[in-house]
Structure 1
Amino acid sequence: MKRLHVSFNVQDLSQSIRFYTQLFGAEPTVVREAYAKWLVEDPRMNFVIEETSEAHGFTHAGLQTESEDELQAVFERMKSAEAPYLPEGVTTCCYHKSEKSWTSDPDGVMWEAFFTHHQTEEYGKAPEIVGQ
């Protein structure tokens, strides 16, 4: 089963953690420097906030899969969507080692599809395509 992924940039991490903890009725599952993540079950969502001095608000959406087979099926759908497709492969980003690819919808909204292998102690980095 897949899980919707949504990511926002925020100005004040602590204030935003308090707000989203109340909104979701759950504590974040991961909190690191300038980063927090909730794995919400109702609705099934991977929700991330990152503190930044850059533009605030929505950054991208995605589909988190629970298996590599599911991920490959989503990759095939992304490729057939007649839109830009960026295979990123296995990478470290947002304190997780994941395999992922990116696409964008007709209005330029970035979407990622990914399967997470495990958490890491390092943040890593997002590809330059994010936020363009």
Structure 2
Amino acid sequence: MTVENSPAPAGSPAPTPRTGRLQLALNVDDLAEAVTFYSKLLGTAPAKLRPGYANFAVSSPPLKLVLLENDGKGGSLDHLGIEVPDAGSVHREIARLSGEGLLTDEERGTTCCFATQDKVWVTGPDGERWEVYTVLADSPTFGTSSTAFVAPGQAPSDSACCSTAAGDEQGRASACC
């Protein structure tokens, strides 16, 4: 996806187009039911399906839809993201976002959502969490960060990512999709 930025205010540097794909991570109560629904809605099967986790990589419109089985939180937004093509793009976004004065939370080589990733997190003005990330490699494990999301069949200490840690006052998401 190429995102054309709106015109910059007078005196600002000219914006540059970015390539990537918008990501929406949704909490669902019943993964199988959600996969059936979104397969029909999007006209495609999941790109990745694991216990408690599914993602759809849609080419048109460019979208990565992530489903996280989080009983009792179904229908709520977990976080938002922008998937970029490579680690260099993530590192350029870290520099750009920091240069804009945003507090960034960087992760390199983290494992989350059955993938090894480089990413950066920022928090919007209303507490919404955004990640800019790239997938470096597939992983056989969900991840190891300490957060609220627990994949079915895993103990909380074995789980990872995508949800804000319980009791974390800054709303820091440790890792994700």
Q: 1:55 to 1:82 in 2, by over 3 A?
A: farther
Is 2:95 the partner of 1:76? Answer: yes
Contact kept in structure 1, 2:94 and 2:104, CA below 8 Å: no
Give the CA deviation at 1:59.
Answer: 0.8
**Structure 2 regions of 5+ residues with no counterpart?**
1-18, 144-159, 166-171
TM-score by length of 1: 0.91
Is 2:44 the partner of 1:26? Answer: yes
Give the CA deviation at 1:97.
Answer: 0.3
Q: Distance in 2 between matches of 1:75 and 1:46?
A: 21
Moved more, 4-13 or 54-63: 54-63
Secondary structure at the counterpart of residue 117 of structure 2: strand
Contact kept in structure 1, 2:31 and 2:67, CA below 8 Å: yes
Secondary structure at the counterpart of residue 19 of structure 1: helix
Name the Cα RMSD after superposition: 1.7
Runs of 4+, deviation exceeding 6 Å: none
Q: 1:90 to 1:54 in 2, by over 3 A?
A: farther
What one-letter code is carried by the residue in structure 2 that aligns with 1:111?
W
Give the CA deviation at 1:54.
Answer: 4.6
What's the % identity of the aligned pairs? 26
Which of the residues 11, 22, 26 maps onto 1:8? 26
Q: Choose between structure 1 and 2: higher strand proportion.
A: 1
Based on CA coordinates, which of the two structures has the bigger radius of gyration? Answer: 2
Structure with more contact order per residue of length (Cα contacts < 8 Å, sep ≥ 6): 1
